[in-house]
Amino acid sequence: MAVTVTGTTFDREVLASEVPVLVDFWASWCAPCLAVAPVLEALATEHGLKLVKVSYDDEPDLADRFGVQSIPNMILFKDGGPAAQVIGARPKAALAKAFGLLP
């Protein structure tokens, strides 16, 4: 299950995490964001990732901090930094490949 993070909790929940974290920048009005959400949940479960959600509307400073200009925008963090980024809703296999989750 995804955890909602804010500017206050981001560093602790994402950058200090001991496991890779998939950050989903999204908005409730964004249909592609809603469509990709269950796919992200499945990827997180299958690959042992922590999934967090950042509201694009409520956390514009976080969006700016990571150069997020359009949503859905997903960033995989490993060892305290961004490792891969995907912009736009994609099928599960395409996301897994883009994030380097496939062998």
CATH number at residue 80: 3.40.30.10
In a domain, 23, yes or no: yes
Q: What is the DSSP string of the chain?
A: --EE--TTTHIIIIIT-SS-EEEEEE-TT-HHHHHHHHHHHHHHHHHT-EEEEEETTT-HHHHHHTT--SSSEEEEEETTEEEEEEES---HHHHHHHTT---
pLDDT tens readout for residues 6-50? 999 999 999 999 999 999 999 999 999 999 999 999 999 999 999
Residue 55 in any domain: the answer is yes
- Domain-located, residue 19: yes
* Domain assignment present for 45: yes
Structural domain span for residue 29: 3-98
Let me know if 30 is a catalytic residue. Answer: yes
Which of 30, 84, 96, 98 is labelled catalytic? 30
- Domain for residue 49, yes or no? yes
Q: What is the C-alpha to C-alpha distance for residues 103 and 89, in angstroms, rounded to an integer?
A: 22
User: What distance in Å separates the CA atoms of residue 49 and residue 41, rounded to the nearest whole number?
Assistant: 9
Residue 34 maps to a domain? yes
Which of 33, 44, 62, 86 is labelled catalytic? 33
Could you tell me if residue 65 is inside a domain? yes
Q: Which is more confident, 89 or 1?
A: 89
Structural domain total, the chain: 1
pTM for the model stands at 0.96
Determine, yes or no, domain membership for 103.
no
User: What is the rounded distance in angstroms from the CA atom of residue 21 to the CA atom of residue 69?
Assistant: 20
Residue 1 has pLDDT above 90, yes or no: no
